[in-house]
A and B are shown apart, each in its own frame.
Chain A
Amino acid sequence: MIRPEDFYEQEGTLNEGDRRRIWKGIRRSLPAGRHPLLFITDARSFFYGMAAAVLLGFALLGGMQAVRLVQDPPETRLVLAYQSAISQFEAVVPVSTGAPGQAQSGQVQSWKNQLVLVDAAIVVLRLDIRENGPSPVKQTKLRELYALKLQVLQTMIENGGIEL
């Protein structure tokens, strides 16, 4: 076999400049491959996406919390607490929930009348909230009514208006 270096003439060889020029032309015609920068961009996109997902998760949690607060606001819990306290109180002192009787003193009668009025107001307001939705004013009013009822009951106890 003839050695290539003994056969080919010098002008038939590729120098470095020719080699680079030809490759440049070839590379332009090749489909874009994965470039390290693209990989970096991909990773960056990945991390941005993860961060966005985390933020979205927090936003969803916040949204769910907000919905829960709207559906079950602190005021509602407070009202429930009042109701619970009153129910427990009335369970202990059933005399206070009985219809006003003629044999009781005028003061006690007055307190009982107040309780009837307050209960009626509570019923009307709760009905209104159920039908028309809550509002800060209604919630405040309801809270005040429950507080008033407790106050009347407390007064009745302290002043002997209730037989324990």
Chain B
Amino acid sequence: MNEESEWIQRARQGDRRAYKLLYDRHAAALFRFLHRFSSNRSDVEEWVQRAFIKAFHQLDAFNEQARFSSWLFRIGINEMKDDGRKVGKILTMEPEALPGTAEDDDFEWEATMQTLLDELSESQRMVFILTEVEGYTHAEIAGMLGFTEGTSRSLLSRAKQHLRVRWITEGKRA
């Protein structure tokens, strides 16, 4: 059993110190990810807090075959979506991937692409960050965001295409 599994087991038995260890490990990553979708820090803190509280109360339902972080991210994203729904802001999901959609292996990230990220749809932005920065698989992302792996791959491909095209047309390429 790795240390995180041990913390989860202890947290299930009510050990708050063990749960604090999980918090210390994952809170920063969840915060910085969610902060990409809202500039309001207090909102983001609220989502992170609620995510950890919900995760604690649902620990018995956590499948230890998956990574704790991917499960936590899903809860955090849902908290953000719930708040968005309350203010009439719906996170739009892309349609199912078309057959034959392939990932863009030629993509290279450039720091100057940061400003172009806001041009992506929320779903594309989420998938892009979760794969390219946070290192999640399409299977994990599909579980987090509630669509299929194919959709996740398609979203990433479209995101990369958009970024590359815009980066070139914006004259960013030296």
Identify the A interface with B (CB < 8 A).
Answer: 1-4, 6-9, 11-14, 18-19, 21-23, 25-27, 29-31, 33-34
- Bound: A7/B32 CA distance, A: 10
**Contact residues in A for B68 (Cβ distance below 8 Å):** none
| A8 neighbours in B (Cβ, 8 Å) | 32, 35-36, 133
Interface segment among B47-55, B77-85, B97-105, B164-172: the answer is: B47-55
Cross-chain contact B16 with A14 (CB below 8 angstroms): no
Q: How far is the CA of A25 from the CA of B46 in the complex (A)?
A: 9
At the interface, is chain B mostly helix, strand, loop or mixed?
helix
Q: Is the CB of A6 within 8 A of B32?
A: no
Decide if B20 is an interface residue (CB 8 Å cutoff). Answer: yes
Q: How far is the CB of B103 from chain A (nearest CB, A)?
A: 14
Residues on A with beta carbons closer than 8 Å to the beta carbon of B41: 11, 18
Chain B min CB distance to A24 (Å)? 9
User: Using a CB-CB cutoff of 8 Å, which residues 23-42 of chain B contact chain A?
Assistant: 23-24, 27-29, 31-32, 35-36, 41
How many residue pairs link A and B with beta carbons under 8 A? The number is 71
Nearest first, the 8 A-B pairs at minimum CB distance are A12-B35, A33-B16, A12-B32, A29-B53, A8-B32, A25-B49, A14-B28, A14-B31
Query: Which B residues are in CB contact (< 8 Å) with A33?
Result: 14-17
Instruction: Give CA–CA (A22, B23) in the complex, Å.
Output: 10
- Asked if residues A21 and B45 are in contact (CB atoms below 8 Å), the reply is yes
| Separation of A26 and B53 alpha carbons in the complex (Å) | 6
Task: Judge whether A6 and B28 touch: CB under 8 Å.
Answer: no
- Alpha-carbon gap, A36 to B19, bound state (A): 17
A19-B27, A30-B53 known; A14+B20 contact, CB < 8 A: no
Is B87 located at the chain interface by the 8 A CB criterion?
Answer: no
Chain A residues with CB under 8 Å of B61's CB are none
Chain A residue numbers with a CB within 8 Å of B20 are 23, 27
| Contact call A19/B135, Cβ cutoff below 8 A | no
Contact yes or no, A2 B133, CB < 8 A:
yes
| Chain B residue at minimum C-beta to C-beta distance from A28 | B53
B111 on interface, CB distance cutoff 8 Å: yes
| Cα–Cα, bound, A49→B27 (Å) | 44
Q: Is the CB of A6 within 8 A of B111?
A: yes
Pick from A12, A14, A21: contact of B36, CB under 8 Å: A12
Which residue of chain A lies nearest to B132 when distances are taken between CB atoms in the complex?
A2
Tell me the complex Cα distance, A3–B29, Å: 12
Known: A2-B133, A26-B23, A31-B14. A13 touches B32 (CB 8 A): yes
Distance A33 CA – B10 CA, assembled complex (angstroms): 11
Q: Does B109 contact A (CB under 8 A)?
A: yes
